[in-house]
């Protein structure tokens, strides 16, 4: 029973928000008030516990999600502090995939910002219950009620105000708890550690009664028992209100909304109370579903240590060169030194060590069970999104969805010594970050790295230098063009030369015709064996195919042509394989010049999803980039624009799109075809 009680008192939550709403500051306060840290680290001083990477401390932003554990009123809370910058959206996605609840932080001045919309929809996708905290109520221009109104319009869940601010802007003193009809005031001299409940001033009594009544009325619409009491005019107890809020939160119908000023140490302890009261324990979430790879049937695992093991690897980091894997255990238990089964790779993996994480500090564990979020050392094959389970009861959990990279840069090592380090370092970074891709382009002999945005690639380059001592140069990747002809033509090539005692002869006539875009190049043998013996036909074709690699305009490969070998001549004793190969090559070059050769450039299909109010700017920008809009379709409050745009015009697009749409539009692009430049 002990483990059952422990599960009931466990909370796995993520703190998510737009960049600069104050997520990390809220986390630092939570750690301080729960006794997890002895002093509060500030983001602006580069001392936040959770922002432990040097790149995070310098830029004052969160890049990687950090995991920690703290205790509050006999409950164990596992917290993941996630990044707010759109370039690191995979960190939020994979955290939400394994969490049971989320605390969404909004800025009272900025309101519902673009990235907070994105993370809110990500949480909805995984069915994660949420609590909202409107931060920075002490700032000039703060508007608590305006932000709640924006939430009501933008999201499909109902905001439940369970607190209202006691004063706003510079007059902000504390919060008023509508459930208990109490004002909560913090003592600034104790860094907000001490706080007291007071009766709200007489002047606010009317406002408190009005908003409390609104809260109960909204709850009554979702809860039949409460509705009956409300209609009869019976007094509704605090316990009944709390229970109705919890039910509405867990069923994703509503989101409790709270307020405060994290930097001024006001409003944090009630958040912890709300996490414990309203967010689910691992027992409250639906059982995890997966496929049994042997029977191909869907199976479920209840959140219990008595069920067979099911755990998901959701993040991999390199710790002083060693691989550390973060796991969420959904069912069963894991012992240090035990062998686990990676069902996707059909491999056994041995756990060397189990660790409970506190940002980048850790403590050793002997065992962990259902509901835990832990780090393990020793897993060699396991990657992000892999399922670990009991080999006798295999289950494959739904993997984590990754985003396709949208921006690429060429990368090269500064010295040969750096080159060796670079190859190994990029492999390790790709293990860690599923949105980073590394490809080698044979044609330009460049190594290309692709990622989610310019900041993403900048951080990668920075980490290569700092963590792996690999010095690199980043440049723009070259666009690779192609060439083709525009009109039908015939051409011939003749070769006769003495090479070392032997005379070589070849004579070939070709017909060249342009083909449809994307159809490739066909070489057809339409030559009679009486004209040129069959033994030389393969040599002629080989000469043509070798010459297709370099065209006549700028030396790019030739595509989309129909080439027919139609005629030639033969000389007894002089004709040779080499002669026909060279003659075919000369004929092709001559034919391309006569056929009016042109350059073709890569054209991409670009899909942009933007709020309707920015549609004009987005379409105007696509037209400026020589793009063609193919279709525009409305999807609720957003529009999807599909266009064809040359790749060359797409460099820097992610940054331009964000500035044109306040960061609220997203795009994806993929190669479509080569077309006339």
Average pLDDT value for residue range 659-667? 84
Q: Select the highest-mean-pLDDT range: 105-109, 474-478, 551-555, 562-566.
A: 562-566
What pLDDT was estimated at residue 268? 94
- Say which residue the tokens 């686990």 belong to: 340
Q: Classify 167 in phi/psi space as left (phi over 0), alpha (psi -120 to 50) or beta.
A: left
pLDDT (tens digit per residue) in 297-329 = 999 999 889 999 999 988 888 777 788 888 999
pLDDT (tens digit per residue) in 166-222 = 988 888 899 999 999 999 999 888 888 999 999 998 889 999 999 999 999 999 999
Inter-residue contact 520 to 560 (CB < 8 Å)? yes
Look at 508 and 445; give whichever has higher pLDDT: 508
What pLDDT was estimated at residue 132? 96
What pLDDT was estimated at residue 92? 72
Lowest mean pLDDT, pick from 263-272, 290-299, 312-321, 622-631 = 312-321
Kindly report the average pLDDT of the chain as a whole number.
86
| Helix, strand, coil percent values for the chain (each to nearest 5) | 30, 35, 35
What pLDDT was estimated at residue 208? 94
What pLDDT was estimated at residue 222? 92
What pLDDT was estimated at residue 647? 85
Handedness of CA 624, 627, 632, 635 (dihedral sign): negative
> Residue 92 corresponds to which tokens in the numbers above?
């939020």
pLDDT (tens digit per residue) in 422-439 = 988 898 888 888 888 898
605 pLDDT higher than 80 = yes
pLDDT band at residue 80 using 50, 70 and 90 as cut-offs: confident
pLDDT band at residue 258 using 50, 70 and 90 as cut-offs: very high
- The share of the chain scoring above pLDDT 70, in percent, equals 91
- 10 Å CB burial of residue 421 (0-12, 13-18, 19+) is middle
Nearest by Cα to 120 from 30, 14, 28, 270: 14
3-state secondary structure 308-323: CCEEEEEEEEEECCEE
Lowest mean pLDDT, pick from 238-242, 294-298, 400-404 = 400-404
Nearest by Cα to 338 from 392, 397, 389: 389
pLDDT (tens digit per residue) in 134-144 = 999 999 888 99
452 pLDDT higher than 80 = no
**Would you list the DSSP string of 262-315?**
GGGTBSHHHHHHHHHHHSPPTTTSPPEEEE-TTT--EEEE-SSTTSPPEEEEEE
Nearest by Cα to 35 from 356, 278, 272, 328: 272
Inter-residue contact 151 to 133 (CB < 8 Å)? no
What pTM, to 2 d.p., does this model score?
0.70
293 pLDDT higher than 80 = yes
pLDDT band at residue 52 using 50, 70 and 90 as cut-offs: very low
What pLDDT was estimated at residue 54? 58
> Residue 328 corresponds to which tokens in the numbers above?
């969420």
Average pLDDT value for residue range 152-172? 88
What pLDDT was estimated at residue 97? 82
What pLDDT was estimated at residue 42? 59
What pLDDT was estimated at residue 69? 85
What pLDDT was estimated at residue 36? 67
Inter-residue contact 559 to 484 (CB < 8 Å)? yes
Angstrom CA distances, 119 to 28, 621, 655, stand at: 21, 27, 19
Whole-angstrom Cα distance, residue 209 to residue 610?
41
What pLDDT was estimated at residue 38? 58
Residues paired with 310 in a beta bridge: 331, 389
Angstrom CA distances, 87 to 51, 459, 640, 647, stand at: 17, 10, 21, 20
What pLDDT was estimated at residue 62? 46
pLDDT band at residue 115 using 50, 70 and 90 as cut-offs: low
Q: What is the β-pairing status of strands 101-107 and 130-135? A: parallel
- 10 Å CB burial of residue 644 (0-12, 13-18, 19+) is middle
Look at 153 and 2; give whichever has higher pLDDT: 153
Average pLDDT value for residue range 241-252? 94
> Residue 422 corresponds to which tokens in the numbers above?
């670079």
Nearest by Cα to 392 from 310, 325, 303, 296: 310
> Taking the mean position of all CA atoms in its chain, how far away is CA 8?
31
82 pLDDT higher than 80 = no
pLDDT band at residue 583 using 50, 70 and 90 as cut-offs: very high
What pLDDT was estimated at residue 87? 55
What pLDDT was estimated at residue 360? 62
């Amino acid at each position: 029973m002990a483990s059952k009680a422990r599960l009931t008192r466990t909370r796995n939550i993520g703190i998510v928000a737009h960049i600069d709403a104050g997520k990390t500051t809220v986390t630092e306060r939570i750690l301080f008030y729960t006794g997890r840290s002895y002093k509060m680290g500030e983001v602006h001083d580069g001392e936040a516990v959770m922002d432990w990477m040097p790149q995070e401390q310098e830029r004052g932003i969160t890049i990687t999600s950090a995991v920690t554990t703290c205790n509050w009123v006999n409950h164990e809370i596992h917290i993941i502090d996630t990044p707010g910058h759109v370039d690191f959206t995979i960190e939020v996605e994979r955290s939400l995939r394994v969490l049971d609840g989320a605390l969404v932080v909004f800025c009272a001045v900025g309101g519902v910002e673009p990235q907070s919309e994105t993370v809110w929809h990500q949480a909805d996708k995984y069915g994660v219950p949420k609590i909202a905290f409107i931060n920075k109520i002490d700032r000039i221009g703060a508007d608590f009620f305006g932000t709640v109104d924006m939430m009501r319009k933008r999201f499909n869940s109902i905001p439940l105000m369970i607190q209202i601010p006691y004063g706003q802007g510079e007059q902000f003193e504390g919060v008023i708890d509508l459930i208990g009809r109490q004002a909560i005031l913090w003592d600034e001299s104790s860094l907000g550690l001490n706080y007291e409940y007071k009766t709200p001033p007489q002047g606010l009594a009317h406002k408190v009664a009005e908003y409390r009544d609104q809260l109960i009325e909204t709850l009554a619409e979702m809860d039949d028992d409460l509705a009956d009491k409300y209609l009869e005019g019976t007094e509704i107890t605090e316990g009944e209100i709390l229970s109705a809020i919890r039910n509405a939160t867990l069923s994703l119908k509503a989101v409790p909304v709270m307020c405060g000023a994290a930097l001024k140490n006001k409003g944090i302890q009630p958040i912890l109370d709300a996490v414990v009261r309203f967010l689910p324990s691992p027992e409250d979430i639906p059982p995890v579903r997966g496929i049994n790879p042997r029977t191909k049937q869907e199976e479920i695992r209840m959140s219990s240590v008595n069920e067979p093991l099911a755990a998901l690897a959701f993040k991999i980091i390199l710790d002083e060169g060693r691989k550390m894997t973060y796991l969420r255990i959904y069912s069963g238990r894991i012992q240090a030194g035990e062998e686990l089964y990676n069902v996707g790779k059909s491999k056994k993996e041995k756990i060397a060590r189990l660790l409970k994480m506190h940002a980048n500090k850790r403590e050793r564990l002997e065992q962990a069970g259902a509901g835990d979020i832990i780090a393990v050392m020793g897993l060699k094959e396991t990657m992000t999104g892999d399922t670990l389970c009991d080999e006798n009861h295999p289950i494959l959990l739904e993997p984590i969805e990754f985003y396709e990279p949208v921006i690429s840069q060429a990368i090269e090592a500064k010295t040969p010594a750096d080159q060796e380090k670079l190859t190994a370092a990029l492999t390790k970074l790709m293990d860690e970050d599923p949105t980073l891709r590394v490809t080698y382009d044979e044609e330009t002999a460049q190594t290309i790295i692709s990622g989610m945005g310019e900041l993403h690639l900048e951080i990668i380059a920075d980490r290569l230098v700092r963590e792996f001592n690999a010095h690199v140069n980043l440049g723009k990747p070259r666009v690779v063009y192609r060439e083709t002809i525009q009109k039908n033509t015939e051409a011939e090539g003749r070769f006769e030369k003495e090479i070392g005692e032997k005379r070589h002869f070849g004579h070939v006539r070709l017909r060249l015709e342009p083909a449809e875009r994307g159809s490739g190049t066909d070489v057809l043998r339409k030559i009679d064996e009486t004209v040129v013996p069959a033994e030389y036909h393969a040599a002629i074709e080989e000469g043509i195919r070798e010459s297709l690699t370099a065209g006549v305009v700028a030396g790019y490969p030739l595509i989309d042509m129909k080439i027919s070998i139609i005629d030639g001549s033969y000389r007894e004793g002089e004709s040779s394989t080499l002669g026909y190969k060279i003659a075919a090559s000369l004929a092709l070059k001559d034919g391309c010049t006569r056929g009016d050769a042109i350059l073709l450039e890569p054209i991409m299909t670009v899909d942009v999803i933007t709020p309707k109010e920015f549609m004009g700017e987005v379409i105007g920008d696509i037209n400026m980039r020589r793009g063609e809009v193919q279709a525009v379709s409305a999807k609720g409050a957003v529009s999807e624009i599909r266009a064809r745009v040359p790749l060359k015009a797409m460099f820097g697009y992610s940054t331009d799109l964000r500035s044109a749409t306040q960061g609220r539009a997203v795009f994806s692009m993929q190669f479509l075809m080569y077309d006339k430049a």
